[in-house]
Structure 1
Amino acid sequence: MASHRKPKQRSLTSSTARAAALLALTGAASVTLLDGTGHAENRLTPAQVKARVDQYQRQAEEATERYNGAKDKADKARAALDALRDQAARRTTRLNAARNALGAFATAQYRSGTIAPALQLALSSSPGQYLQRASLAERAGNRQAALIASVGRQERKLRQVRGEAADRLAALRASQTAAAHHKRTVQERLAAADRLLDRLTLEQRQRLLAAQDGDKAGADGTASPAEGRAARAVSYAYAALGKPYVWGATGPRGYDCSGLTQAAWRAAGVALPRTTYTQINAGRRVTRDQLAPGDLVFFYSGVSHVGLYIGDGRIIHAPRPGAPVRVASVADMPFAGAARPA
């Protein structure tokens, strides 16, 4: 007799269980790798949390500048690709017109037929008429030869333009891939910093953020005198005070550090490159004791942060996520160099 017992329900097959365990281990490993010490971080002191948060935010800013550079390259590659595609389309139209003209010329010759010059002379009742026709035929032949040569040149140029477009497309895709990678790095670093901050009490977190902000004395003071375009750049930076740090942004609603300096000098009529790594080479290098309002001041060994000098040993800068555009002392961060835009 067939059994009517209800089969046992299995919550997980062995392979499913192994997969679940592997995923759990992978997730735990990811957290450990990202945050450094896993469960040990629960025992970090507020000072250690601050140091780790500072590290993550600095790594995020470095990745932001790399993202800015990759995005800038992608934007330029996209613009160049669009221009090459437009050029290829125009050249294709001209090439097709030349081919059509050449085809019409050949069709006309075929329909009229060709007769050997000696026979044309024999059949002609007037040698003068023959010579006139021969001259016309020669000129027509020259036009045909020139048209054939033009078609060949246009075909070669079109192949060249299409090859350049293919190279630009490859560069665009590479830059897009790099930008996406750096964007993920930024998000991971900032998320890691947020997780650490979430472990603190409200009072500890407030003290940590206050310590990060440093001494704001003199933040409401006026800038040292500046002239010309530098004055316009400084004025723009002052108008940006209080606006949020937004990574990858160049205003007007938010900025990252190099986005603020680029926007300030753009308002003064000067086009700066997009990243700290390229802005430091814009204009003339100046030493710390030569700083004047409007100069770009760079910080950290990797030249990953920049602010706009306003005089009296101070800068206006976009510090980091969660901290709005503000005034700070040049002495607050490790000085890496300065440049005066032309």
Structure 2
Amino acid sequence: MSKNLSDGVGYLERSIDWKQGLAIALGVPLLILPSLGYLPMYLSAAAILIWGLSVIQGFFQNAAYAEMATTFPKASGLPGFAQQIFRTENYKGKYDKGKLIGGFSAWSYWFAWNPVLAIFAILVGGYLHGLFPALGQTFSEYQLSLISGLVIFTGLFIINWFGLKEGAILGYVLAAFSLIPLVVLTAAPFATGHVELANITGNWLPADWSWDAHHILILFGIFAIAQWSACGWETAAIYGPEYKNPAKDIPKALFACGIICLFSYVLVQTAVIGVLGVDGVAAEAVSPLIPVAQATFGQAGSVVTIIMLIAAMILIIQTAYLGSSRALHSMSTEGNLPRYLGPSQMSVVRAV
């Protein structure tokens, strides 16, 4: 049996380092993809600034998570932090406010990640429909989404059944097929001159924009969408009980993922608006990267981009799948859900 097993939480083995934690969280830099066309519809090129500010705010937020992971190395992820912080010392009653706040935190965290599974399974079905027109003659886009979701979730269940390290290996593979093409696709338009700065500087805000209550409310709503995506790399901290050295590994994983997010959220949106313009982005709101690839690399670029987007969707689903499952595990460990929903002794055997 691993000598570090007893140091984990809820029979979780301390088996990953910061690089593996980063691999699991690498779906977060790709969370911008569904909103690339949405934010410019309301804020034009100022969407670039919104993404940048959201990522910067994420650094402050995740610095707090890193500090809590260092202070409470045996807490069961983010919900466990809440229970540790709000727990009443020497409390003799049956229920403590820490358990209530921790349970609410865990359910909220689960609820934030769980819709990602359905959203991106639907997107995979749409991309498959576009990549293989022959499939459209046999299956509808809705049916493809159901089939792809079933295949993806079954595969992730099997792979992650054997432990978090296997999930990290899958993260490395999916990142190679998604992040590397995304970097090339983002940098190439700047190198080839397809990015026109006038598309950005000449359309900084919508023509009818005014700083009244209505538009400020829209701004807050856009920030909410951006924050949901751009600050999500806190998922690297939820695996605190499984890091070999959480005090060092978690801050490294969070900072590295944050740097990648800063590149992804700012430069990808800049490239898309710079090539297509605000009106062009609005016309291709679902997948504006495809016409960018086509403009830069021709028809072959659009095919490669669709493959990249499918890999990116699966990587995002993997990140959400693990994040939501760890929230349920935390609630079981902390007593907010029945214990039998948590790990069994067989989990210990598999971890050894």
Output the TM-score relative to the length of structure 2. Answer: 0.25
Structure possessing the higher relative contact order (Cα contacts under 8 Å, 6 or more residues apart) = 2
Specify which structure has the higher proportion of helix: 2
TM-score by length of 1: 0.26
